[in-house]
Amino acid sequence: MAENKGVLVYGELTDGKLAAITTELLGCGRRLADDLKEDLSCLLASDMLGEASKEVIAFGADKVYEVEDPSLRQYQADSYMQVVEKLVKDTSPRAILIGQTSLGRDLAPRLAFRLGVGLATDCLDLSIDPETKLLLQTRPVYGGNAQAIFFSELMPQVVTIRTKAMSPMERDESRKGEIISIKLEIDMSKVRTATLEVVKEEVAGVKLEDAPVIVSGGRGIGGPEPFQTTLKKLADLLHGAVGATRPPADNGWVPEATHIGLTGKIVAPDIYIAIAMSGASQHIAGCSGSKNIIAINKDPEANIFKEATLGVVGRYEEVVPAFTNKLKELLAS
Ligand SMILES: Cc1cc2nc3c(=O)[nH]c(=O)nc-3n(C[C@H](O)[C@H](O)[C@H](O)COP(=O)(O)OP(=O)(O)OC[C@H]3O[C@@H](n4cnc5c(N)ncnc54)[C@H](O)[C@@H]3O)c2cc1C
For residue 17 and ligand 1, the question of a CB distance below 6 A is answered with no
Residues 6+ apart with CB under 8 A from 33: 6, 7, 39, 40, 62
231 and 257, same domain (yes or no): yes
Q: Could you tell which of 227, 262, 305 is best to mutate to test the pocket of ligand 1, judged by most ligand atoms within 8 Å of the CB? A: 262
Residue 199 lies in a domain: no
Query: What is the extent of the structural domain holding 15?
Result: 7-190
Ligand 1 centroid–CA 297 distance in Å is: 12
User: Which atom of ligand 1 is least distant from the CA of 264?
Assistant: 8
56 and 153, same domain (yes or no): yes
* Atom 47 of ligand 1, residue of closest alpha carbon: 299
| Largest distance between two CA atoms of the chain | 69
Residues 10, 44 contacting (CB under 8 angstroms):
no
For residue 104 and ligand 1, the question of a CB distance below 6 A is answered with no
Ligand 1 centroid–CA 271 distance in Å is: 19
Q: Where are the alpha helices (DSSP H) in 182-255?
A: 225-226, 232-237, 246-250
User: Which atom of ligand 1 is least distant from the CA of 299?
Assistant: 47
Last residue of a domain, one of 156, 190, 224: 190
254 and 143, same domain (yes or no): no
pLDDT digits 0-9 by tens, 171-182: 999 999 999 999
67 and 185, same domain (yes or no): yes
Q: Roughly what angle, to the nearest 10 degrees, separates helices 102-115 and 77-91? A: 50
User: Which atom of ligand 1 is least distant from the CA of 248?
Assistant: 26
Residue 91 lies in a domain: yes
Q: What is the pTM of this model?
A: 0.81
54, exposed or middle or buried, with CB in 10 Å at 0-12, 13-18, 19+? middle
pLDDT digits 0-9 by tens, 181-235: 999 899 999 999 888 888 877 767 788 988 999 999 999 999 999 999 999 999 9
Ligand 1 centroid–CA 307 distance in Å is: 14
Round to the nearest angstrom and report the end-to-end CA distance of the chain: 69
Q: Could you tell which of 254, 283, 294 is best to mutate to test the pocket of ligand 1, judged by most ligand atoms within 8 Å of the CB? A: 283
User: Which atom of ligand 1 is least distant from the CA of 261?
Assistant: 8
227 and 179, same domain (yes or no): no
What was the pLDDT predicted at 1? 57
What was the pLDDT predicted at 134? 97
Q: Which residues of the chain have pLDDT under 50?
A: none
Residue 57 lies in a domain: yes
61 and 175, same domain (yes or no): yes
pLDDT digits 0-9 by tens, 287-311: 988 999 999 999 999 999 999 999 9
